[in-house]
Amino acid sequence: MKYSIDHKSPIPLHVQAEALLRKLIEAEEYQNGKTIPNEVELAKQLAISRTTLRQAINKLVFEGLLVRKKRFGTKVANGAVSSRSNNWLSFSQEMKLRGITIKNFELHVTWVYPDETLANFFEIKTDRKILKMERVRGKTHEPFVYFVSYFHPRVGLTGDEDFKRPLYEILENDYSTIATLSKEEITAIAADEFIANKLKMEIGSPVLFRKRLVFDQAERQIEYNLGYYKGDSFVYTVESSR
């Protein structure tokens, strides 16, 4: 066992255990589809109680990373290895499999000071930095999707943390922010007067309405987005309320 648990650390044991399991899965120490050691055994190895270990495993099961099966054991979910499988890279790989080639994408992540509006939205002060993420996805030199997302400081990103190493590592050390889930709902609607006016487009133009729920252990936030075509690029505005 390469890694182990530090009983003197202020970080809760179950959180450490969760992180450790994540690492082992990601490093494919525990491989795709294979079972991990049984709870009693593993608890003994890590020198923690089975109850505590289960707390850690539960989270990963809930996330879909691990799958429990009685008598058989707990295995790494098939095709779901590591948190990487939901990120941009795997996305483009999947697209490739479908015969779609995607080139020239850009990703820009920065910490910025929010303007008045955003600060209000997040209910923080303007001197507290938030994470800004811009994504441009393109195909043969023509970018056609542009995302801008801002994240509340409390929300430690949302599952595709893998986009940029250094940042990922920063977050990796603060496991209190890890249990984050997001849920999205997107609808294609026709712009009515209100929206058409707001976006300076004609009534009836197709608009994407995106509702995004981000929730960590602490609180839930809702983000609204309106997306529309502008020329030959697709613009995604962070609209929103809470």
Partner DNA sequence: ACAAATAATATGTACATACATTACGATAAA
Partner DNA sequence: TTTATCGTAATGTATGTACATATTATTTGT
Q: Which stretch binds a copy of itself (CB under 8 A): 15-23, 24-32, 36-44, 135-143?
A: 135-143
Rounded Cα distance between 48 and 59, Å, is 17
- The values of phi and psi at residue 103, to 5°, are -125, 170
Rounded Cα distance between 229 and 144, Å, is 9
Q: Where in 156-175 is the site for DNA (CB under 7 A)?
A: none
Among 28, 106, 123, 219, binds a copy of itself (CB under 8 A): 219
R_g over Cα of the chain: 21
- Which x/- pattern, by CB under 8 A, does the window 159-178 give for a copy of itself? x-------------------
Three-class secondary structure of residue 196 per DSSP = helix
Q: Return the exposure string of 67-102: e unless at least 16 CB atoms fall within 10 Å of the residue's CB, then b.
A: beeeeeebbbbeebbbbebbebeeebeeeeeeeeee
Question: Which residue, 52 or 221, is less far from DNA as judged by CB?
Answer: 52
The interface partner of residue 173, options being DNA, a copy of itself, none and the CB cut-off 5 to 8 Å by kind, is: none
Question: Which residue, 74 or 221, is less far from DNA as judged by CB?
Answer: 74
Rounded Cα distance between 88 and 67, Å, is 24
Among 4, 45, 51, 117, binds DNA (CB under 7 A): 51
Q: Which stretch binds DNA (CB under 7 A): 22-30, 51-59, 113-121, 164-172?
A: 51-59
The interface partner of residue 91, options being a copy of itself, DNA, none and the CB cut-off 5 to 8 Å by kind, is: a copy of itself
Q: By CB under 8 A, is residue 184 in contact with a copy of itself?
A: yes
Closest by CA to 225, choosing from 197, 186, 196, is 186
Question: Which residue, 15 or 199, is less far from DNA as judged by CB?
Answer: 15
Rounded Cα distance between 233 and 66, Å, is 39
Among 86, 154, 167, 168, binds a copy of itself (CB under 8 A): 86
Q: By CB under 8 A, is residue 150 in contact with a copy of itself?
A: no
Strand ranges of the sheet holding 103-112, from the earlier edge strand across to the other edge: 103-112, 130-139, 142-151, 233-238, 220-230, 206-215, 181-190
Q: Which residues pair with 134 in a beta bridge?
A: 108, 148
Rounded Cα distance between 135 and 138, Å, is 10
Binding region for a copy of itself (CB under 8 A): 61-64, 67-68, 77-80, 86, 91, 94-95, 98-101, 137, 139, 142, 144-145, 159, 179, 181-190, 192-195, 206, 208-211, 213, 215, 217-220, 222, 227, 229, 234, 242
Binding region for DNA (CB under 7 A): 10, 12-15, 38-40, 47-52, 54, 68-74
